[in-house]
Protein backbone atom coordinates (compact mmCIF):
# COMPACT_ATOMS: atom_id res chain seq x y z
CA UNK A 1 0.00 0.00 0.00
CA UNK A 2 1.11 3.55 -0.76
CA UNK A 3 0.02 6.79 0.84
CA UNK A 4 0.13 9.70 -1.62
CA UNK A 5 -0.30 12.97 0.27
CA UNK A 6 -0.55 16.40 -1.28
CA UNK A 7 0.35 19.26 1.04
CA UNK A 8 -1.57 22.49 1.35
CA UNK A 9 -3.71 24.60 3.62
CA UNK A 10 -7.43 23.96 4.08
CA UNK A 11 -10.26 26.46 3.55
CA UNK A 12 -11.23 28.48 0.49
CA UNK A 13 -8.94 31.31 1.56
CA UNK A 14 -5.91 29.27 0.41
CA UNK A 15 -7.32 27.68 -2.76
CA UNK A 16 -5.06 28.03 -5.81
CA UNK A 17 -2.15 29.48 -3.78
CA UNK A 18 1.45 28.44 -4.40
CA UNK A 19 1.55 26.56 -1.08
CA UNK A 20 -1.40 24.41 -2.21
CA UNK A 21 0.40 22.85 -5.17
CA UNK A 22 0.17 19.46 -3.43
CA UNK A 23 -3.62 19.72 -3.05
CA UNK A 24 -3.93 20.68 -6.71
CA UNK A 25 -1.86 17.66 -7.83
CA UNK A 26 -3.92 15.31 -5.64
CA UNK A 27 -7.12 16.66 -7.21
CA UNK A 28 -5.75 15.91 -10.69
CA UNK A 29 -4.57 12.44 -9.60
CA UNK A 30 -7.90 11.65 -7.94
CA UNK A 31 -9.78 12.69 -11.07
CA UNK A 32 -7.48 10.61 -13.29
CA UNK A 33 -7.92 7.52 -11.07
CA UNK A 34 -11.62 8.02 -10.34
CA UNK A 35 -11.00 8.24 -6.58
CA UNK A 36 -13.14 10.49 -4.41
CA UNK A 37 -11.00 12.23 -1.78
CA UNK A 38 -13.89 13.02 0.56
CA UNK A 39 -13.58 10.69 3.57
CA UNK A 40 -12.53 12.52 6.73
CA UNK A 41 -9.92 10.39 8.49
CA UNK A 42 -6.64 11.06 10.28
CA UNK A 43 -7.18 14.83 10.12
CA UNK A 44 -7.28 14.66 6.31
CA UNK A 45 -9.56 14.19 3.35
CA UNK A 46 -8.78 10.72 2.02
CA UNK A 47 -9.79 8.34 -0.73
CA UNK A 48 -8.77 4.75 -1.46
CA UNK A 49 -8.21 3.16 -4.84
CA UNK A 50 -5.76 1.27 -6.99
CA UNK A 51 -2.81 2.15 -9.18
CA UNK A 52 -2.08 -0.99 -11.15
CA UNK A 53 -2.01 -3.79 -8.57
CA UNK A 54 -1.18 -1.50 -5.64
CA UNK A 55 -3.70 -0.15 -3.16
CA UNK A 56 -3.27 3.60 -2.64
CA UNK A 57 -4.65 6.17 -0.25
CA UNK A 58 -4.81 9.71 -1.59
CA UNK A 59 -4.67 12.30 1.17
CA UNK A 60 -5.06 16.06 1.63
CA UNK A 61 -4.09 16.80 5.26
CA UNK A 62 -6.35 19.40 6.87
CA UNK A 63 -3.89 20.33 9.64
CA UNK A 64 -2.46 23.37 7.82
CA UNK A 65 0.92 23.08 6.15
CA UNK A 66 3.21 23.35 9.18
CA UNK A 67 1.48 20.43 10.95
CA UNK A 68 1.22 18.06 7.98
CA UNK A 69 3.20 15.39 9.82
CA UNK A 70 0.44 14.95 12.40
CA UNK A 71 -1.93 13.67 9.74
CA UNK A 72 0.58 11.71 7.63
CA UNK A 73 2.23 10.15 10.70
CA UNK A 74 -1.15 9.03 12.07
CA UNK A 75 -2.09 7.55 8.70
CA UNK A 76 1.23 5.70 8.37
CA UNK A 77 0.81 4.26 11.89
CA UNK A 78 -2.82 3.22 11.35
CA UNK A 79 -2.25 1.50 7.99
CA UNK A 80 1.25 0.20 8.93
CA UNK A 81 2.77 1.85 5.85
CA UNK A 82 6.56 2.04 5.69
CA UNK A 83 7.78 5.64 5.13
CA UNK A 84 9.43 4.44 1.88
CA UNK A 85 5.86 3.79 0.62
CA UNK A 86 4.76 7.38 1.27
CA UNK A 87 4.79 9.92 -1.57
CA UNK A 88 4.49 13.58 -0.54
CA UNK A 89 3.65 16.20 -3.17
CA UNK A 90 4.50 19.78 -2.19
CA UNK A 91 5.49 23.20 -3.48
CA UNK A 92 9.14 24.24 -3.87
CA UNK A 93 10.33 27.85 -4.11
CA UNK A 94 13.80 26.68 -5.19
CA UNK A 95 12.51 25.35 -8.51
CA UNK A 96 11.27 27.39 -11.48
CA UNK A 97 7.50 27.50 -11.94
CA UNK A 98 6.20 24.19 -13.29
CA UNK A 99 9.40 22.18 -12.90
CA UNK A 100 9.27 18.89 -10.95
CA UNK A 101 11.94 17.36 -8.75
CA UNK A 102 11.53 13.82 -7.44
CA UNK A 103 13.54 12.56 -4.47
CA UNK A 104 13.59 9.36 -2.42
CA UNK A 105 14.88 11.07 0.72
CA UNK A 106 16.49 14.25 1.96
CA UNK A 107 16.19 17.19 4.28
CA UNK A 108 13.20 19.50 4.50
CA UNK A 109 15.10 22.15 2.55
CA UNK A 110 13.41 24.88 4.58
CA UNK A 111 9.89 23.55 3.87
CA UNK A 112 7.98 23.51 7.17
CA UNK A 113 5.47 20.90 5.99
CA UNK A 114 8.28 18.48 5.11
CA UNK A 115 10.05 19.33 8.39
CA UNK A 116 6.96 18.29 10.36
CA UNK A 117 6.58 15.07 8.35
CA UNK A 118 10.23 14.17 9.01
CA UNK A 119 9.65 14.85 12.71
CA UNK A 120 6.54 12.64 12.90
CA UNK A 121 7.86 9.79 10.75
CA UNK A 122 11.25 9.87 12.45
CA UNK A 123 13.03 9.61 9.11
CA UNK A 124 13.92 11.60 5.98
CA UNK A 125 13.43 8.49 3.84
CA UNK A 126 10.09 9.03 2.17
CA UNK A 127 9.35 9.84 -1.46
CA UNK A 128 8.74 13.43 -2.59
CA UNK A 129 7.47 15.15 -5.67
CA UNK A 130 8.39 18.81 -5.41
CA UNK A 131 6.49 21.16 -7.71
CA UNK A 132 8.33 24.35 -8.57
CA UNK A 133 6.46 27.55 -7.77
CA UNK A 134 9.34 29.92 -8.50
CA UNK A 135 11.69 31.94 -6.37
CA UNK A 136 10.15 34.66 -4.23
CA UNK A 137 11.05 38.24 -5.11
CA UNK A 138 13.72 39.58 -2.74
CA UNK A 139 11.51 42.39 -1.46
CA UNK A 140 8.60 40.05 -0.66
CA UNK A 141 7.89 38.18 2.59
CA UNK A 142 8.07 34.39 2.16
CA UNK A 143 4.65 33.76 3.74
CA UNK A 144 3.03 36.37 1.49
CA UNK A 145 4.66 34.77 -1.55
CA UNK A 146 3.69 31.13 -0.88
CA UNK A 147 0.19 32.16 0.19
CA UNK A 148 -0.19 34.23 -2.97
CA UNK A 149 -1.73 33.07 -6.24
CA UNK A 150 -0.04 32.61 -9.59
CA UNK A 151 -0.36 35.37 -12.17
CA UNK A 152 -2.79 34.54 -15.00
CA UNK A 153 0.05 33.96 -17.46
CA UNK A 154 1.43 31.10 -15.30
CA UNK A 155 -1.86 29.26 -14.64
CA UNK A 156 -1.63 26.98 -17.70
CA UNK A 157 2.01 26.16 -16.89
CA UNK A 158 1.02 25.17 -13.34
CA UNK A 159 -1.99 23.12 -14.47
CA UNK A 160 0.44 21.14 -16.64
CA UNK A 161 2.80 20.75 -13.66
CA UNK A 162 -0.03 19.29 -11.56
CA UNK A 163 -0.80 16.80 -14.36
CA UNK A 164 2.89 15.84 -14.53
CA UNK A 165 3.03 15.45 -10.74
CA UNK A 166 0.03 13.08 -10.93
CA UNK A 167 1.74 11.11 -13.71
CA UNK A 168 4.95 10.99 -11.67
CA UNK A 169 3.09 9.59 -8.65
CA UNK A 170 1.56 6.87 -10.82
CA UNK A 171 4.97 6.02 -12.30
CA UNK A 172 6.54 5.89 -8.83
CA UNK A 173 3.96 3.31 -7.75
CA UNK A 174 4.00 1.20 -10.92
CA UNK A 175 7.64 1.46 -12.07
CA UNK A 176 9.56 2.75 -9.05
CA UNK A 177 11.04 6.05 -7.99
CA UNK A 178 14.22 5.66 -10.08
CA UNK A 179 12.22 5.42 -13.30
CA UNK A 180 10.17 8.49 -12.31
CA UNK A 181 13.32 10.44 -11.42
CA UNK A 182 14.89 9.60 -14.79
CA UNK A 183 11.76 10.71 -16.61
CA UNK A 184 10.70 13.83 -14.65
CA UNK A 185 13.92 15.28 -13.13
CA UNK A 186 14.92 17.15 -16.24
CA UNK A 187 15.61 20.80 -16.80
CA UNK A 188 12.92 22.80 -18.54
Which three-class secondary structure state does DSSP give residue 136? coil
Reported as half-sphere exposure (CB side, CA atoms, 13 A), residue 6 has a value of 27
C-alpha closest to that of 23 among 54, 64, 52: 64
Across 15-158, the runs of DSSP E, i.e. the strands, are: 39-41, 44-51, 54-61, 86-92, 100-103, 127-132
Rounded CA-CA distance 133/158 in Å is 8
Q: How far apart are the first and last CA of the chain?
A: 32
Known catalytic residue at 120: no
Task: Identify whether the C-beta of residue 91 lies closer than 8 Å to the C-beta of residue 131.
Answer: yes
How distant is the alpha carbon of residue 152 from its chain centre? 22
**Set 19, 42, 111, 120: catalytic member:** 19
Q: Catalytic residue positions? A: 19
Amino acid sequence: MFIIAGLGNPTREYEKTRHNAGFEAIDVLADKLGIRVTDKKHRAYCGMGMIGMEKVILSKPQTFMNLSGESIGAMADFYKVDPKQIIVICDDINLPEGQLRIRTKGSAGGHNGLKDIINHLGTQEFLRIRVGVGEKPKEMDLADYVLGRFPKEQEALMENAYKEAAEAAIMMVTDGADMAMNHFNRKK
